[in-house]
Structure 1
Amino acid sequence: MAFQIILNFVLAFVWMFLSSNYTAAGFIIGFLLGIILLMMMRRFFTSRLYIYRIWAIIKLTLLFFKELVLANVQVLRVVLKPELDMQPAFFAYPTVLKQDWEITLLSSLITLTPGTVVVHVSDDAKTLYIHAIDISDVDEAIAAIHDSFEKAILEVSKS
């Protein structure tokens, strides 16, 4: 991925020098042409194009902000209810993520979302133990985490 980014910048600078256009607009045109050239040469790279990974990172960031807003609204509802009928729970979340940075990112995203906290990661890093402030169905919560954060992290880390 780093090689592709450097190659794209080199192509942008080469375009600037060949066209004698030393402005930001000339660089952007060269950068876009470099992306097109990289797409045409993608079969020569062992990993997928870096543009797809950047797009996956943007989608993961937007997903986090969406989940952050929804969780804040949910916690606000719990706090503003006249009677407390919360159902707090600890549950084990089995993860398919393998790399340490993936597990750390998932744990951070879960913890940064209000109402949930990752309290422990198992020694083999295959299970996260999570506390939720108000949860009615544990299986639904596990499916929600798997279908949102974990799937997005897998998309970012896919080669």
Structure 2
Amino acid sequence: MKQYIAYALILGLVWSFVSGNISVLNFMVGSILGLLIVQSLKKLYRPDKDMTFRSIAEHLPKLAVYFAVLLIEITKASVQIARIILSPGMDIRPGIIAVPIRATKDASITAIANTISLTPGTLTIDISDDMTKLYVHAIDVSEPEELKHSIRDKLEKYVLEAFE
């Protein structure tokens, strides 16, 4: 329980700085909101382990790599979308593909789905009932195996390292 209070205090501090009103009352409001958030989301992120500062510190480099890869992939996809827009005669084949995933935890599956949706030109539509495939709409699926490979080996790999 002590660790949740520490997280709530950190979120209270963040709340104060983000809101631009650094006062004791604002810090207390942010801390109470932080405690509610931490308590409601604690099972989502590691139900089998206690959250400690050490475990978070160990995951920070992996999260940094994930966000760097995400920014690179967003940039590459944005350039590809810009090429499609600037070349209206370009032959594109939009469609939906099933991408098998290795993630088993809800947080990881959600992170993968959101990462795909954040990348321009792709959108996660659904997940299979057995939670082993994501259905992804892409602006160009002329090479579906390459797209699956890109999602599994570039995006999912880093999501698994950061969130599982």
**TM-score range relative to shorter protein:** 0.5 to 0.7
Residue 124 (1) aligns with residue 130 (2): yes
CA distance in 1, matches of 2:155, 2:90: 29
Residue 68 (1) aligns with residue 74 (2): yes
Task: Compute the displacement of 1:135 (Å).
Answer: 2.6
Encode CA deviations 1:93-120: one digit per residue, 9 max, x unaligned: 0111001111111000000100001111
Aligned to 1:112: 118
Tell me, which stretches of 5 or more residues in structure 1 are unaligned? 7-46
Aligned to 1:140: 146
Question: Could you tell me the TM-score, scaled by structure 1's length?
Answer: 0.66
- Deviating beyond 6 angstroms after TM superposition, the runs of 4 or more aligned structure 1 residues are none
CA distance in 2, matches of 1:129, 1:62: 25
CA distance in 1, matches of 2:90, 2:55: 50
Residue 55 (1) aligns with residue 43 (2): no
CA distance in 1, matches of 2:106, 2:123: 18
Aligned to 2:98: 92
RMSD, matched Cα: 2.0
CA distance in 2, matches of 1:138, 1:97: 20
CA distance in 2, matches of 1:122, 1:82: 34
CA distance in 1, matches of 2:162, 2:120: 23
> Does the CA-based 8 Å contact 2:70-2:115 persist in structure 1?
yes
CA distance in 1, matches of 2:59, 2:80: 31
CA distance in 2, matches of 1:104, 1:51: 22
Question: Could you tell me the TM-score, scaled by structure 2's length?
Answer: 0.64
CA distance in 2, matches of 1:99, 1:82: 41
Q: Which amino acid aligns with 2:125?
A: V
SS at match of 2:91: coil
Q: Which amino acid aligns with 2:117?
A: T
CA distance in 2, matches of 1:75, 1:157: 29
Question: How many positions carry a matched residue from both structures?
Answer: 115
CA distance in 1, matches of 2:92, 2:80: 12
